Each structure stands twice: as structure tokens, then as C-alpha cells.
Amino acid sequence: MTTHQWTLQESFYFPAEYGAFAESAEVKVTPGFTEERTEEAIRLQGIYHIAANVVFDADKQVELATDDALVINDVEVENNKGYFEYAVPLNVDLPVELDGDLQLEVQDIKTATQEDGGLKLEWTVHLKQDKPVQEAVVIEEEPAAPEFVAASTSHMEFLANADRAIEQVTNEMEDFLLYIAEMDDDVTRKIFHSNNVFVEAEGQSSE
């Protein structure tokens, strides 16, 4: 994964009556920007908001080397301790292939005292990219058809048992008919016929 980061620095000076910058108690740099996407790049435009608590050395005089030095006149000072805010322009062009939610995080804030009494501020900006989360596709499975399972026997065993039961009944019926056929009783012979089919006697008339 490609890491995007960049380092910026700025020098600040203060009114001579406060003295030279001595040290920083706390410094915060907060980026704020708008995002514009074009075919060539992703352009971020906004500001780096700087809020700092600093300490002055009133015994050291400040000598501005150039006329274009950035002087912070709006400073709250009490007992050589001061607080100021300032906005540095933010202009960044990023590769167009980046996607998702882009965020900037400031790290490694460093301050240093310059020989001419100014404050040198340096900070590093890291690009954080939150890629869009793809929702998992939920496939609803159809409920499986109920399985019919015999309580004590399988389907094949059930058919085999049924065949054996029919065979047993058939054998018992044949034994019974054979028993009737062997009887010498004429009445029994006339009532129970082994083929169970009515047949007219030869010579019997239909009149």
C-alpha cells in the first residue's frame, strides 16, 4: 500500500515588546479542507489551523531579518506566556486513483528557536484512507424438504417386510385350501372351491 505524507514548516515572529520566542508549552495543528475530484487529480483545499501556547524571553531582543517575516500581532500574553492562533493555507493534489473517505492526520509537530528570536514550526501530515466497506451478500437458502424416515426401519426394509407378510398370507391361504380339498365332506367341497371361480356342471341346463 502506498503511504502519502508530506512535511510543512513555517516561521513566526512576535512584537518586539514580548521578547524572543523561548519555548512552546503546547502546539496543535488541525487540518480542515474540502475535496474536489477531477480527471487529473484529487485536490484538497483548506487550512491548517494552528493553536499554540508559547513562552517568551523578555530579556532577548528580536531583530527581524526581512520585511516579509510573518509577525503574529494578535497574541494573548501574561507573565511572559502567550497564546495565539493562525491559519496556514492547505493545498494538496493527490493521485486520482485514490478512493474512499480521505482524512488527514498531523503528527511529529516540532518547534525550534531561531537565532533571530522567531519560532520555527514543523509538522508532518499523513493521509488516511478509509475504503468503503462492501456489504456481504446474504443468500437466503430455501428450507430443505422434510425427510420422511421410518421410526424403526428404512424404506427398503419396509418393502421387504411387506413382501414377506404377503407371502406368508398367501402360503397360509394355500394351506387352508389344501386342507379343505382333502376333506371327504361333500358339503365342504361344494362350499369351498380351491379356484374360487363358479363353474357350471357338465350337462346342467340353463332352464
* Residue 33: all three cell numbers together: 479542507
Task: Please give the pLDDT value at position 68.
Answer: 81
Task: Please give the pLDDT value at position 205.
Answer: 47
126 and 40, same domain (yes or no): yes
Domain around 169 = 155-191
Task: Please give the pLDDT value at position 165.
Answer: 63
167 and 105, same domain (yes or no): no
Task: Please give the pLDDT value at position 26.
Answer: 94
Mean pLDDT of each 10-residue bin along the chain, 207 residues long: 83 92 95 93 96 94 76 94 96 89 93 93 91 56 54 56 64 58 51 42 46
Secondary structure percentages of the chain, helix, strand, coil, to 5 = 15, 40, 40
Is there a domain that residue 139 lies in?
Answer: no
C-alpha atoms less than 13 angstroms from C-alpha of 96 in its C-beta half-sphere: 5
C-alpha atoms less than 13 angstroms from C-alpha of 138 in its C-beta half-sphere: 2
93 and 160, same domain (yes or no): no
